[in-house]
Amino acid sequence: MAGWLRPLAGTLFLLEVAAAVSFLHHRYEEMVRALFRVQSECPYVTRIYSIGRSVEGRHLYVLEFSDYPGIHEPLEPEFKYVGNMHGNEVLGRELLLQLSEFLCEEYRRGSERVTRLLHDTRIHIMPSMNPDGYEVAANQGPDGIGYLTGRNNANGVDLNRNFPDLNTFMYYSGEISGPNHHIPLPDNWKSQVEPETLAVIQWIGSYNFVLSANLHGGAVVANYPYDKSQDQRFRSHRRTANTPTPDDKLFQKLAKTYSYAHGWMHRGWNCGDYFVDGITNGASWYSLSKGMQDFNYLYTNCFEITLELSCNKFPPKEDLERQWMANREALVAFIEEIHQGIKGMVTDENNNGIAGAVISVQGISHDVTSGEMGDYFRLLLPGTYTITASAEGYQPQTVTATVGPAAPSLVHFQLKQDVVKKAPERKASGTRTNNKTLQKKVVPRAVRRGTQR
């Protein structure tokens, strides 16, 4: 094709894709129909499942994309998007429906990029974590005067202030370098959370998620952990105090990936706020307790950021196409960020996978663990690292590995049984696998009511 024709062909292609998508607000029944329509159009690479029900009994549906739906393939990482946690912040819900249809259409068209993404990643998309709140907000509509109407669930609870407070356990553990990974939940945690929160906690405990984003509205910025300030016990919640995780540089890189792929987030000035590069540490913006973002990092292997995507929490339908075009590339590029760092298998001397093995990186005081099949994933920036794998009943093994800027480096561990302490007997796994999968593998900002994550 002549060089001057390529830009025109690209523009026509984008217009054709945009025309195939209906840009409107989806009520619950319409959202469900949209999800099942995508599943029927791409039945071999999608699966729909529910993680539970809301207070009013609505399903919390997830649409999965994978070349083997319903199966965890060794060395294939798990990714998730969660939208509409606040019922009145609706853009994320619509963007995830658009993304679902886009991935299906692109796969059917034979897009090399999307095909590779679906073959190498297991993607889980939850358009609405708070369907009850959405219905309240939708009854008001975009022009309603109740700015916070529908934000909470049907019990009047803010779901992003409803997760167990693991930050406090970490901050009060005696040292700032206290435990900050796989912190156990309090005994009575189930009685303190809402049905939607309970469903999400059980969900993220059932899948070995590696990377995630939570979509909100009311500002335009990519927000990364920690959300809760370690100084909150001394400060008002409206004071700011930068509170980085041990993976702060990595989180900044993840946030910038979305910000710079977005139409205008990276410019910084949005909604009356200014954020350098369009990103912010959550606690540096304002301190937030019991949020989902920090909970993911402190309780699981998952690295999650919060994406604030629009000044208007409930934008008019006429603005949805513009917002989709601004976010489309960013949504795909962020998923691709899961393929960096190191990954591998942790096995015993008989090549049986070891679940729950601890992967430690020297100089970064945050560990991850291997999944049920013995595979692990550790997001890292390019560099050379000293990595140790350890498990109860086995001798630890330490290796040095170099991480490049592209695909993750494969680093496998084979642990020898500890002669002093016998390893527990291992049961045979019933999980389905196949040979293919083993081979691929600066301006102060006041907190305004419109920018509450």
Decide: 326 and 262 in contact? Cβ < 8 Å. yes
* DSSP element (H, E) containing 366: strand 364-369
Selection from 379, 376, 339 nearest residue 247 by Cα: 379
E-only strand ranges, 244-290: 269-270, 273-274, 279-281
Asked if 129 and 200 count as a contact pair (C-beta separation under 8 A), the reply is yes
Strand, helix or coil for residue 198: helix
- Phi and psi angles of residue 223, each rounded to the nearest 5 degrees, phi first: -105, 135
Alpha-carbon gap, residue 352 to 436, rounded angstroms: 18
240, 215, 218: which is closest to 227 by C-alpha? 240
Assess whether 308 carries a catalytic annotation: yes
Bond prior to 394 in cis (omega within 30° of 0): no
Place of tokens 């494969």: 410
User: What string of H, E and C letters represents the secondary structure of 28-53?
Assistant: HHHHHHHHHHHHHHCCCCEEEEEEEE
Contact 412, 344 (CB under 8 A): yes
| Beta carbons of 297 and 304 less than 8 angstroms apart | yes
β-pairing, 342-347 vs 413-414, is parallel
The β-bridge partners of 368 are 359
| Rounded Cα distance, 386 and 401, in Å | 7
List, as own/partner pairs, every contact residues 102-105 make where C-beta atoms lie below 8 angstroms and the sequence separation is at least 24, other chains included.
102/17, 102/21, 102/328, 103/42, 103/65, 104/38, 104/41, 104/42, 104/45, 104/46, 105/17, 105/20, 105/41
Say which of 308, 329, 336, 392 is annotated catalytic.
308
**Would you name the residues annotated as active-site residues?**
308
